[in-house]
Amino acid sequence: MKELKNIYSAYQKYDFENRLAALATVVKVKGSAYRRPGARMFVTDDGRHIGGISGGCLEGDALRKARRVMESGKPEIVTYDTMDDEAAMNMGIGLGCNGVIDILIEPIDAVMHGFFHEIGNLPNQKTPSCIATIIQSSDTSSVGAKHIFQNGEHHILYNTSVSLSHKIAAIIDLDGAHPKSHITTVKSDDESYEILFEWIQPSIHLYLFGGGFDINPIIHIAKMLDWKTTVANGCTALSAPARFPESDFVEKVDRSLIGDHFTFDEWSAVLLISHNYTFDLEVLKSFYPKKLSYLGILGPKKRFDKLRKDLISSGKNEEAFFEQIFSPSGLNIGADTPDEIAVSIISEIQAAFKNKKGGFLKSLNTPIHKRHGSEDLTFA
């Protein structure tokens, strides 16, 4: 999401009356690559770019191809095959990633302005959005055509046939229950279309309940990831926005009302970081028996065991509520300082939302990213 926001910001500031620009998008990855489908790069006519489509290996050649697209006014699919080391070296990219990457490069024309208008709304969405893009077709004029779904509404940005539009919408609606990016071949009006369905998840909203100085490193890293943050506690002195300058929201809320004061959804992460036992106990009582995507409590295991015992003594004894709690909060990376602890906690939250356990990548006996189908396709 952060990359999209940066690209949209650059787009808004660009002088399109006097200059040309293009958008490069990773649309298909077979095997290994640094970036996944949906990675984008905004390219200006003087060779500058915002965003990225690789770790820096493809950008140089892609910038040259983008210049050609700007001049022709026609989109192109460019394929980089790094499975062939000799061919890759001849292109001057020398990746060694052992993958095939397809890049869609599009001139930013009148229709693409409509696309940018739509993606400008994505950061505010509370539900997953989908960008469906035709990446291959016997009807070459349709390559790059897009269909966007956000906030429960479908937006067709190109003049695709009614039949094709209905089929794309039906696939998006079917995906909605378990939104994951994928490539699907759709047949319509005697034509065959290979379409990337790119699902974009809302940003995580991290709620931090406490008021200590150690909250700021957590906020700082969260903002680097483009997460939203809210700090709340019941003390006026600790609720001054100046104490947490990077946080989106800072509120004073009575500890016993916190659970009902805020509206949490599946993209909400909650961390109790008050260093105050009574505060944490009252906040936990206000949450009971809510099910949260992430609920962490800073402090040692003995402290959590006591919190649990006191909650059970008060009649709040539903086992599922306790099983969801991460305490001690954070991954075991040997963190000692507030900054290191922030890295540990943010990493755990990221892992929880991605349904991963953390750990060393070198210990994996499988690819880092899950592969799909016989073509060995990878997605985010």
* 129-147 burial code (b ≥16 CB/10 A, e <16): bbbbbbbbbebeebbbbbb
Q: Give the per-residue pLDDT at 271.
A: 98
Question: Which pLDDT tens digit goes with each residue over 33-50?
Answer: 888 899 999 999 999 999
Count: domains in the chain: 3
d(C-alpha 364, C-alpha 350), whole Å: 18
Task: Quote the domain boundaries for residue 79.
Answer: 2-109
Do 18 and 89 reside in the same domain of the chain? yes
Q: What is the pLDDT of residues 205-225, one digit of tens each?
A: 999 999 999 999 999 999 999
Residue 360 in any domain: the answer is: no
Q: Any idea what DSSP says for residue 286?
A: H
Tell me whether residue 115 is in a domain.
no
- Pair (93, 220) in one structural domain: no
What single DSSP character describes residue 225?
T
Instruction: Specify the pLDDT at position 172.
Output: 92
Q: How far apart are CA 131 and CA 119, in angstroms?
A: 9
Structure tokens at 47: 């060779």
Q: Domain ends where: 109, 135, 167?
A: 109
Q: Do residues 155 and 231 both lie within one domain?
A: no
C-beta separation of 58 from 80 below 8 A: yes
Three-state SS at 205: strand
22: in domain: yes
Nearest to 280 by CA among 301, 250, 311, 249: 311
Full-model pTM: 0.89
Burial of 369 (0-12, 13-18, 19+ CB in 10 A): middle
Assigned domain for 373 exists: no
Count CA atoms within 13 Å of residue 59 on its CB side.
18
pLDDT (tens digit per residue) in 126-144: 889 999 999 999 888 889 9
Q: What is the pLDDT of residue 86?
A: 60
172 with 229, same domain? no
Taking 70 as the pLDDT cut, the residues of the chain under it are 84-96, 159, 373-375, 380
Please give the Cα distance from 377 to 182 (Å, whole number). 9
